[in-house]
Chains A and B, each alone.
Chain A
Amino acid sequence: MQESDGKRMQWVSHMVRIRDDRDQAAFAALFAHFAPRVKGFLMKSGADASLAEECAQEVMATCWHKAHMFDPARASVATWIFTIARNRKIDVLRKQRRPEPEDLAWGPEEEPDQADVMAMQQESEQLGQAIAELPEAQRELIQKAYFGDLSHSEIAAQTGLPLGTIKSRIRLALERLRHAMK
């Protein structure tokens, strides 16, 4: 296992400690890493510094309150925090509701398999590396798309993202979840 894989698993265990023990030290570490990123993301998306600061604090507080909703067999912690930040952006900057799909969640008695969690975290790491290795121009285009600087029709030509393996991994997690929900 590479060191960075360990990093992602470490964030997962921080989330578990926040969820189960309301562990403030774990939350402080998560905050130190992700709060500046969330603030930067929101400023790139058009928020001024004070609004981005306020929203970043709200996003991190949501991570605490909704720790039980995080499913490490389906996403990395960075991905999960991204979705919370994105929803806040739509709410505050675009002043719209965000329709979400019907919920799929593990029941109180069930947990995802640890091997599935490891595999998902490694897959996330590899996706991050693959994106980092893209040509500069293409990587910038992807960033622009997520900061909201490109419309969906402008990203139509956006291909070459290596998403096949992570999609299969998520598909597998969804099947296990469907099975557990029966």
Chain B
Amino acid sequence: MEQKITHHLTDEILMGYAAGTLPEAFNLMVATHVSLCDECRARVESYDAVGGAVLEEAPDHDMALAPGSFAATMALIAGGAPEEICTQHPQDAVLPQPLQDYAGGGIDSIKWRAVGMGVKQAILPTSKDASARLLYIPAGAAMPDHGHHGIEMTMVLQGAFQDDDDYFARGDVEVADSDLHHTPVADIHEDCICLAVTDAPLRFQGLLPKIAQRFARI
């Protein structure tokens, strides 16, 4: 486990993950961050406990079961456990397990696409209500200045970036809402790889990035 993660996920996101109401791309962000952060894992599991209390005390706790429900369940059990498509990937220095599931393997198997100014990205397959992608930012390079309509979360997987006064290293997440215009700059010592998720298309400032946006789906 990594130490010294200083930028965590928000309570509303963690509660949404526990409740099961987030878009898939946001769930991927939470699962990835929690894989590296026991503090947020404990917070998520506290919200799971709220779900347990809701289940225990729900107004419909005496919902009538269909006749023969128990026998049908025992028959299901006798049929054996359903086969799980659960691939255990080899440990990867950059991608935690849940990300490897979506990327189809470790960091070396990523098919990057250039989006300009040395920045590369790989879009991950999630449901359409939000998007997830891996970003590759050369050491010392800046992401194009952008604001956005919805929530954007960016988590460092390798290297680090600086955004105004804040420094983000592996495991740290920057949560930005529509008010924040920001320009993350990758740390000079190493190329930076991030997971970025957003529930709205990004708005880039300036002409060139806008054209890139049309072609690159960022």
Point out residues on A near B: beta carbons under 8 Å: 24, 28, 31-32, 34-41, 43-44, 50, 52-53, 56-58, 60-61, 64-66, 74-76, 78-83, 85-87, 89-90, 94, 96-104, 124, 127-128, 131-132, 142-143, 145-146, 148, 150-153, 155-156, 158-159, 161, 163, 166-168, 170-171, 174-175, 178
Contacts and interface: CB of A to CB of B under 8 A. Distances in A.
8 closest residue pairs by CB, A with B: A40-B60, A79-B52, A152-B16, A40-B63, A99-B31, A78-B52, A65-B81, A101-B34
A171 B32 CA distance: 18
A101 B31 contact: yes
A132 B57 contact: yes
Interface of B: 1, 11-13, 15-16, 18-22, 24, 26-28, 30-32, 34-35, 38-39, 41-66, 69-70, 72-74, 76-77, 81, 96-98, 101-102, 127, 151
Given A127-B50, A161-B50, 6 more contacts: A37-B58, A58-B76, A98-B27, A103-B97, A127-B49, A170-B41
Given A40-B61, A78-B55, A152-B15, A83 B73 contact: no
B43 A167 contact: yes
Contacts of B13: 152
Nearest to B63: A40
B63 A36 contact: yes
